[in-house]
Amino acid sequence: MIIVMDPGAQKKQVDEVMSRLKQFGFGIHLSEGESRTVIGAIGDRTKALSLGLEALEGVEKVVPISKPYKLVCREFKQENNIIDLNGAKIGGEKIMVMAGPCAVESEEQMMETAEMVKAAGADVLRGGAFKPRTSPYAFQGMEEEGLKILAKAREKTGLSIVTEVVNPQSVPLVEQYADVLQVGARNMQNFHLLLELSKAKKPVLLKRGLSATIEEWLMAAEYIMSGGNYQVILCERGIRTFETQTRNTLDLSSIPIVKQLSHLPVIVDPSHGTGVRHLVPSMCKAAIAAGADGLMVEVHPNPEKAFCDGPQSLTLLQFKEIMEDLRRVAASVDRTL
């Protein structure tokens, strides 16, 4: 359930409600919005009726939450959750663009890419240092050396960096270098990893699983938030269907659905969503029109020689051209890029 406090409720009134909840064994999650405070209470609903919370001073109403995801839902927080990445904010009017190669391959590759995507208007540099691959013989990433290269690119360009974390043990290492910790589609329900990330101090970008329902995706986000990390970004990256013309089926309908159900920002990865380079520009435009808060686009200086995902990666010139088109689309829906 959630306890909605009156606008202007005093701190001592909020503390009294929280004290009573703790006394009866409820877990507490506090959301302090611009206009009012909401207290999320996780515990035995049968006890809630005997607490008399609505009689306490400063309480406007007590609302039961029927959804299995309590902290992720709109009932817990009406306002959009805006996440600050070194001054660049995601979840507001501006559409955040994350761009870069699938994998960090060399310092030269990342420096060239970082400078070019920054000049084109990107806010965040993406690049995988750890690469969980379908084949054990495929390139698995440069690991910590790749993280160091990403950090150098950030130092040179000022771009924040997002990179994947693949297991609970590597969370502290990746958090040391990255600004955003990415959970890949294959790890969306790696609950040990999600619980470790719930203790992290950095935002988490949670990709939708290959065959995950929207509810399963939101429940994965609930794992992260339940441990105290409310900085979660959801990423639609396509789901597995019967269609063979694309790598995945990009579920753009999930954007308005999730934004109605949840206060978390939603971005779209059209590169993995289609797996086809020439489809990426149109899907970027469609994602913005559907209400996405950001885009994650694979960009490579030489896609034909990329260690992975070359067929879906844009060239640096293509990325620059698409950014110019996307600014016009964003303006048409009262957003900026």
The pLDDT tens digits of the residues spanning 63-87 come to 888 888 999 999 888 899 999 998 8
In a shared domain, residues 58 and 93: no
Q: How confident is the model at residue 1 (pLDDT cuts 50, 70, 90)?
A: confident
In a shared domain, residues 49 and 106: no
Q: So what's the pLDDT on residue 144?
A: 93
Q: So what's the pLDDT on residue 84?
A: 94
What whole-number distance in Å separates Cα of residue 23 and Cα of residue 11? 18
CB 6, CB 59: distance < 8 Å: yes
In a shared domain, residues 31 and 102: no
**Beta-bridge partner residues of 39:** 3, 30
Q: Flag whether the pTM goes above 0.85.
A: yes
In a shared domain, residues 93 and 27: no
Number of structural domains in the chain? 2
Q: Does residue 146 surpass a pLDDT of 90?
A: yes
Angle between helix 107-120 and 316-332 (nearest 10):
30
**Beta-bridge partner residues of 83:** 90
Buried b or exposed e, range 229-252, using 16+ CB within 10 angstroms: bbbbbbbbbbbeeeeeebbbebbb
- Residue 16's domain is classified under what CATH number? 3.30.70.1140
In a shared domain, residues 298 and 182: yes
In a shared domain, residues 190 and 298: yes
Residue 36 lies inside a defined structural domain of this protein: yes
In a shared domain, residues 27 and 138: no
Residue 337 lies inside a defined structural domain of this protein: no
Look-up: residue for tokens 């589609």? 185
Q: Does residue 48 surpass a pLDDT of 70?
A: no
Burial of 66 (0-12, 13-18, 19+ CB in 10 A): exposed
Q: What is the largest CA-CA distance in the chain?
A: 67
Q: How confident is the model at residue 126 (pLDDT cuts 50, 70, 90)?
A: very high
Q: Which positions ≥6 away from 67 have C-beta within 8 Å?
A: 73, 75, 261
Provide the domain limits for residue 59: 2-63
- The CB density around residue 305, as the number of other CB atoms within 10 Å, is 10
Number of residues assigned to the chain: 337
In a shared domain, residues 9 and 127: no
